[in-house]
Structure 1
Amino acid sequence: MIDYVLVFASSLIAATIAPFYSEVVLAAVLTRQPDAAMLLWALASVGNTLGSVINWWLGKYLLHYRHKRWFPIKDKQLERAQRWFQRFGVWSLLLAWAPVGGDALTFIAGIMRVRLALFVLLVFIGKGLRYLIVIYFAEQLLL
């Protein structure tokens, strides 16, 4: 049971702005529980997607603080990110799994007020595919 909580929690934390690599935890747990690959995939995918929802929420609700000194994103950076998102659209959320820029993308999606249902669907597809690939390669190493 602790393994399942670890996979879920590490996946959730890794999707927020906290630097963490849930793939390592997933692969380690998979070595102990190779028969639970699909359950581990589901826990990692759901946890990581929920972490992205936290970023979306932060983007949506913290934007009204953007003129405060402590706000981490400057107006020019914010405008550039919004233009990029408008150019590539919501389909760019399929890349939310990317280690560089993926978390920022989910934050910007909140700022751009992407509908939550569409956000969750696209982010889950991308992150679910990533974890399938991680499980595939981890299983190949176990053989």
Structure 2
Amino acid sequence: MLGELRERVAEELDYWLEASAQQAFADAYREGGLLRRFIAFEADRVRHRLPELVAALEDSPAGSWARAMSSHCTLLVDLVRAAGAELLHHPVRPPISALVEVWQSQWRAAIPSWTRKASHGCPRLPVTPHADPAQ
């Protein structure tokens, strides 16, 4: 038993072994193979659950919001998957045009139509002139 304990302690204190294990781990992440597979796995897991979640909310008042959120999440998941290991160094930012396309119907539903029309007949708020700081 004492011999086994010595072997285990020697293995734990073998810094060359530890360094080689850490180097192998760093190489796997640097090349992106391990990380890329992990990201792909998680992205697919999220993507497969989205239709199920949207279907559960379809008949509720939040149905249209859930569809837009699903499209938004799908857009982000696709970008994360495409970024792969670079995700560690650069954030994923979807193009504004893609976000507008996803959310435009929700914005239009939330903003009353009279605020989008210039000829709605509502009085405009008066503009207060600012005092000139030079005076």
Both proteins in one fold, TM over 0.5: no
The structure with the largest alpha-carbon Rg is 2
Greater fraction helix: 1
Higher-RCO chain (CA-CA 8 Å, sequence separation at least 6): 1
Alignment TM-score, normalising by the size of structure 1: 0.32
| TM-score with structure 2 setting the length | 0.34
